[in-house]
Each structure stands twice: as structure tokens, then as C-alpha cells.
Structure 1
Amino acid sequence: MKRAINIFEFPFNLGLTKKEHEIEPGVKKLPDWLKKFNFHTQLNPSNIFRLEGPEYAMDFDEETQVKNPDQIIEYAKKQSDLILKNYNKEIFNIMIGGDCSILIGTAVALKKLGNFGLFYLDGHTDFIPPRLSPSGGVAGMDLALIAGLGHEKLTNINDLKPYLLEENIFCVGNAEVDDQEYVDQVINSDVHYYDLYQLRENGFQKTAEDFLKIVQDKNLDGFFIHFDVDVLNDKIMPAVDSRMEDGIDYHNLKEILVPLIDNEKCFGIEITILDPDYDKDGLYTRAFIENLVQIIKK
């Protein structure tokens, strides 16, 4: 990593439905949690920007069929403004969530900057309409929303629909393959889809290179990486909202991310869903930081 780094902290959790034992999802603590274990210090960012999230709620909206749409839209607009205000194409941006719904604000910003691609690395597709969501949580449908699938209020902020084109998106790493209706949504789209097992078959580095070829061939203005830590194997990262038994390891992660991060068109990466409440001693977080810092600084 030769470029300077900006860190954006987005401690936002309104895209998730809290579990019965929770007061609220703990993912909003992630920026402070990573800072505690010297993630920020090791990366030595030029700037750290922060946008506080609103108070937690579970307000189901009949019109959009999701929870907390108004708060999510308002936050996405502020998030987009903060990103654009501090945009410098020479700088690599690291967004720390929060839940996956923070992708919306970044996608709105990217649409204003040009025609961008997205490498969506996640243990789920998050590519479903509200009718298939048992919880109504936007974090489970954020990829669909940024590609234009869902209610206009969320998909057409500032008349920018779609924020990213399906054909410029790679959805990679889904381990939730048993529900055919769930998987069919992304299969029947123009998104380039590699579930966990197809990813292994195609090769980790090769999948990243296949994506970069599209970026080059289409002469995209840039691309962004979404990294939901639940794509990692449960043995090395159980501190997530929706655990999946299978997943990739840190060696696989390095094979995927290094060619992407090294590419000059990489706008940055967002890190989501690591919940400090499920890693009280920081055991999994320490290993996570050690590996991710090595990958970013390589």
C-alpha cells in the first residue's frame, strides 16, 4: 500500500434487527473496538472522519417493507456528503461499520463520482427484495438496494438510481446456498455471482483478477470492496450477526484482496458486521487485525 489512507468511521446499526438477548446490535462499537486494538495506529491514516449513528430503533415501515428506512436514508445522505467532501483519488479509503447498510451511503457517493464497480465479499448475497426478508433488516438486502431492487425511497436517493450497475458487481462468497428462492434472486440478475463453492473452484486470486478485467475492459472510473467479516470461516470469526459454519480463511482472504487493493482504481474497502459483544476478550479481533493490516500494507 503506497497510497495514503483515510479512515471513515460509520458506527451504524439500524440495518440489523436486534436479537432477543440484545439491547441493540453491537456492531456500532466496531470503530472504537478496532482502534482499541491499534488497527488505526498500525495503518497510520492521514485523517479519521466519523459520522455518529442515530439512536437504535426497530421501526417497521409499511410503505417500504423494511425497518428504519427514514433513518437509513438520512444517514446515507450525510455519509455520502462526508465521503465526497473528503474525496481525493490518490487516497485509499477504509470505511468501518456498522452493519452492511452503510454500503448505501458509499454507493450514492460513488454514483456522483462516476461509473463504479463493486466487489461484494460476503457470506450472504444480500440480494433480495423485502418480501423475502424475515426480519425487514436493510443489512440483509443492501446489495439489491444499491443495484436498484427495492422501494424507490431507498433505491433512488437524490434521483441517482441505480447507484451501481448489476453488470459491474461481483457477489462473492455466499455460503447460504440451501434456499433456492434466496439464491435465485442474484442468479437471475446481471450480477456476476460466485458462491463459496464456486469461488473455491474458480480460485481466489483468479476471481479477483476476473473482476479487475471487467474494470479494465469497461474502463470504469473505479471500484469499491465490501468486506463483511461473516465470509470468514466460523472457526476464525464467530463474532458476527448471522453465523455461517463454512467460509474462507485468512490465506484465501489475502489471495482475494491483495490484487484488488493494489489496483490504482480501488477507491477503498468497507468492513462490516464484526460485533465486539461476541468477542469479549478480543481473541478473534486481534487475529483479524493482524491479518488485515498485513494485507492492506503489503
Structure 2
Amino acid sequence: MKRDINIFEFPLNLGLKKKEHETEPGVRKLPDWLRKFDFHKEINPKNIFRLDAPDYSMEIDQESGVLNAAGIIEYAKKQADSILKNHTKDSFNIMLGGDCSILIGTALALKKLGNYGLFYLDGHTDFIPVSLSETAAVAGLDLAIITGKGHEKLTNIQGFKPYFLEENIYCVGNAETDDEEYVAFVKNLIQLIKNKED
């Protein structure tokens, strides 16, 4: 059965610390950039849902020690609401960021739907406490946050801590580790998917 495809645009950049030469991190432009180069046209989604982000800020939250905690939390709530409102059992949903902090709102939505696993592909694990972060930016802490590690403001939004169980996450692509096992895993995963399609 062919499933409807939905695209969700979440152009959030509050999870990043801007570089000296930047006015703000440019990742918020990704959905528009992809649209410009016909990504949406090629995907041909049934629906496109967008949640515009608040203005960029460099505000350090005194309680949690991270950048823009309040803005990220509010966005995560609205993001989860948007996903849940437009979720159907048979749809295939594509989430476009934005920075990695959009994982929090997506994870919150999935937790409300049930118990899910996560295949996390990134050049960094994003699994550190804020005390070890050089930037205090949530985009580098998001995997830790969704598994309940960090300040309650971020890890326990609406009482749903943890959004993902740590044992249900497979983290791939860390640039600082030997990637042979990851290559083997991805090959096996692709083969598994092909076998299910046959």
C-alpha cells in the first residue's frame, strides 16, 4: 500500500551558538533552500506543514545553563502538537530542520504516541552534559536530553521523561570513532529493507 508523504518544516536555529561572522545560524534556511532546488517537487508530498521559529537569540538560561532554553521548550511543545495534529497511521513524515534541537519536539510527539526506537545518524553523538559543552548549545546535547539526561526543564516537558529509552537508540556516524562497524551495520540495514520490499 502506498503511503501519503507529509513534509514538516521546522526552521529552528535556537539550538546553535552563532559564529562570530554570522548574524544568526543559517540552518533555518534549509527548508526554503530545499524547496528552491525542487526537493518538495520531487517528493510530491500530500501536505506541507510549517512552524516558523522565533527570532534568534543568544540568551543563556540560568537554571539549565543552555542557550535559549525557554524558546526551545515552547517550540518543542508547538512542534509536538503540529506533528500529533497532522499524524496519520499510514503516512510517512519527513521532518526538515533547523538544527538538531528539533529532535526534542519530535521525540516528545513520538513519546505521546508510544514507545519508539531511534536510528541517530550524526557526525557527533550529541550525548554530553552541558557542563562539558563548549557552546552550551542544545543542538550538541539533544541526544542526551531526549534520554532524560540534563535539566528537567528540557528533559521532562509535560511530564514525559524520557522521550526515548537509551537502549532503543542506535547512534551512527560519530566522526571520532572507527566507522567500520557502522558501515557494516548500514549495509545490513539496507539489505534488511530490500528483503522486506521483495
TM-score w.r.t. length of structure 2: 0.94
Give the CA RMSD over aligned residues.
2.0
Residues 131, 197 of structure 1: alpha-carbon distance in 2 compared, 3 angstrom cutoff: farther
The reply on whether 1:196 has 2:179 as its aligned counterpart is yes
Letter in 1 for 2:45: P
What's 1:116 paired with? 116
Structure 1 pair 146–263 and aligned structure 2 pair: CA distance change class (3 A): farther
1:9 paired residue number: 9
The one-letter code sitting in structure 2 at the alignment partner of 1:30 is L
- Report deviation, 1:263: 7.2
Same amino acid, percent of matched pairs: 66
Encode CA deviations 1:168-224: one digit per residue, 9 max, x unaligned: 1001110134xxxxxxxxxxxxxxxxx634313x34222x3xxxxxxxxxxxxxxxx
Contact preservation (8 Å) 1:172, 1:199? yes
Corresponding pairs, count: 197
Separation in 2 of the partners of 1:133 and 1:89? 38
Tell me how far apart the structure 1 counterparts of residues 158 and 185 of structure 2 sit (CA, whole Å).
39
The 5 Å alignment of 1:6-85 reads 6-85=6-85
The reply to whether residue 145 of structure 1 matches residue 150 of structure 2 is no
Question: Which residue in 2 is equivalent to 1:160?
Answer: 160
Tell me the distance in 1 between the aligned counterparts of 2:185 and 2:167.
21
Point out where structure 2 has 5 or more consecutive residues left out of the alignment.
none
The residue type equivalent to 1:259 in the other structure is I
| Secondary structure of 1:123's aligned partner | coil
The separation in 2 between residues aligned to 1:144 and 1:59, in whole angstroms, is 21
Letter in 2 for 1:98: G
Q: CA deviation at 1:97?
A: 0.2
Tell me which residue corresponds to 2:97. Answer: 97
3-state SS of 1:61 partner: coil
CA contact (8 A) 1:205 1:259 kept: no
Q: SS of 1:66's equivalent? A: coil
Q: In 1, Cα distance between the equivalents of 2:63 and 2:180?
A: 37
Quickly say closer, same or farther: Cα 1:153–1:263, change in 2 above 3 A. Answer: farther
In structure 1, how many angstroms separate the alpha carbons of the residues matched to 2:196 and 2:42? 21
* Distance verdict in 2 for CA 1:165–1:263, change over 3 Å: farther
2:165 is aligned with 1:205: no
Amino acid in the other structure paired with 1:205: K
Please give the alpha-carbon distance, in whole angstroms, between the structure 2 residues aligned to 1:148 and 1:203: 26
**Structure 1 residues 19 and 154: alpha-carbon distance in aligned structure 2, compared to 1, 3 A threshold:** same
Per the alignment, in what secondary structure is the counterpart of residue 30 of structure 2? helix
Q: Quick check: 1:128–1:144 contact (8 Å CA) kept in 2?
A: yes
Counterpart residue type for residue 138 of structure 1: V
Note closer, same or farther for the CA distance 1:82–1:14 as it changes in structure 2 (3 Å cut): same
Question: How far apart in 2 are the matches of 1:111 and 1:9?
Answer: 20
Alignment partner, residue 126 of structure 1? 126
The 3-state SS of whatever aligns with 1:80 is helix
2:193 to 259, 269, 286: 259
The DSSP-based 3-state class of the residue aligned with 1:41 is: helix
- 8 Å CA contact 1:57–1:68 kept in 2: the answer is yes
- Per-residue CA deviations over 1:56-95 (Å, capped at 9, x if unaligned) read 0011112101000000000000000000000101000000
Between the aligned partners of 2:155 and 2:66, the Cα distance in structure 1 is: 13
Equivalent residue letter for 1:160? F
